[in-house]
Structure 1
Amino acid sequence: MNIIPNHTSFTLLEPGPVVFVTTHDGNFANIMTISWSMVMSFEPRFALTTGAWNCSYTALEQTRECTIAIPSAEQIDLVVGVGTCSGRDTDKFAKFGLTQLPGQYVKAPLIAECMANIECKVVDIIEEHHIIVLEGLAAYTADDFTQRQMLHAVGDGTFIADGAKLDRREAMASKLPQGW
């Protein structure tokens, strides 16, 4: 085994996929790129890590809602572009030519160009760890969802796209949510 610097160990577990989180503070829609997210349960519950360093954080705190939009691997330059500019001085929807779609439950827009979107409400904010806990309210996929790859950040400026999909549904049937 090779020893690596401990401060880089997060790159071994970087969860992915890379997602966009959209917010709307009542006046302004914004997008941030997040690679620190996770599924918490089948309910559906999710968590993401962010804080006051992101422009969208105040909107998340105040409105307690957002949309998670999942870009495809082909959108890597969009992911990096959105993630390397600030909503404090940039209308990211206009700059990157993204189409806002209305959701059913939240004011935060869905992104038409993404492969999937999940409307969410904030159910908890764990400030000590910068964790936002979300409940999914509605989910949508693009017509070509199954033909698109997700993008995963390694955490060191490199990315990995999903590979082959391996089907073990029959063997795992007892552990899957009802209806799968």
Structure 2
Amino acid sequence: MKTMPISKAFTLIEPGPVVLITTNDGEKNNIMTISWTMVMDFSPRFAITTGSWNYSYNALRNSKECIIAIPTVDLLDQIVGVGTCSGVDTDKFEKFGLTPLNGKHVGAPLIQECLANIECKVIDIVEKHNIIVLEGVEAYFDDEREEKRTIHAIGDGTFVVDGEKLDRREMMRSKLPEDV
């Protein structure tokens, strides 16, 4: 093995999938692309990382709610586009041809074109590490959608697409909680 720059070590374990976070600041909807997400235990709690450099951050802080929308590989160009422009001067739903849908519990919109959407409430903000902890309150999955492969960011402008699904549920059955 050879050494690599430690500043690039995150590309070895970058989590996924890439998600879109929608917010509403009371006046308008916005979308941001997030490539760092984390599931917390076997619960509907999630963590994302973002901060004041991101236009959606204030909406998250003030409204204390958002949607985690899970796009698929066919939306890659929209995902990158959303992540490379600002909601300050761009209506990202309009620019990228995405359809906002009303949820049941939060003011931020679901994204119709995504495979899944999770309505979330902000339950903690860890400012030191720019981590927002979310509690899922309602989840939606489009099982009629043909494309179901999600994408994962490597962190250097490249992505990996989910591939073959490997089933080891029986082998792990005794190790998983009953309701998983």
How does the TM-score come out when normalised to structure 1? 0.96
State the distance in 2 between where 1:103 and 1:175 align.
34
Q: Please report how far the alpha carbon of residue 173 of structure 1 lies from its aligned counterpart in structure 2 after TM superposition.
A: 1.4
Q: Give the number of equivalent residue pairs.
A: 180
Aligned-residue CA RMSD (Å): 1.2
8 Å CA contact retained: 1:115, 1:144: no
| Structure 2 residue runs without a partner (length 5+) | none
Q: Report what 1:106 is aligned to.
A: 106
Q: Report what 1:175 is aligned to.
A: 175
Q: Report what 2:65 is aligned to.
A: 65
Q: Please report how far the alpha carbon of residue 172 of structure 1 lies from its aligned counterpart in structure 2 after TM superposition.
A: 1.2
Q: Please report how far the alpha carbon of residue 167 of structure 1 lies from its aligned counterpart in structure 2 after TM superposition.
A: 0.3
8 Å CA contact retained: 2:72, 2:147: no
- Corresponding position: 1:128 with 2:128: yes
1:88-103 paired onto structure 2 within 5 Å: 88-103=88-103
Q: Please report how far the alpha carbon of residue 179 of structure 1 lies from its aligned counterpart in structure 2 after TM superposition.
A: 3.8
| Structure 1 residue runs without a partner (length 5+) | none
Q: Report what 1:21 is aligned to.
A: 21
1:38-53 paired onto structure 2 within 5 Å: 38-53=38-53
Q: Report what 1:155 is aligned to.
A: 155
Q: Please report how far the alpha carbon of residue 146 of structure 1 lies from its aligned counterpart in structure 2 after TM superposition.
A: 7.6
How does the TM-score come out when normalised to structure 2? 0.96
Secondary structure, counterpart of 2:114 in structure 1: coil
State the distance in 1 between where 2:126 and 2:145 align.
32
Counting aligned pairs with the same residue, the percent is 63
- Corresponding position: 1:143 with 2:143: yes
Q: Provide, for residues 97-148 of structure 1, a one-character-per-residue CA deviation record: whole Å limited to 9, x for no partner.
A: 1111111110110000001000000000000100000011111111235851
Q: Report what 1:87 is aligned to.
A: 87
Q: Please report how far the alpha carbon of residue 10 of structure 1 lies from its aligned counterpart in structure 2 after TM superposition.
A: 0.5
Q: Provide, for residues 2-23 of structure 1, a one-character-per-residue CA deviation record: whole Å limited to 9, x for no partner.
A: 2100000000011010000000
Matching residue's letter, 1:80 = V
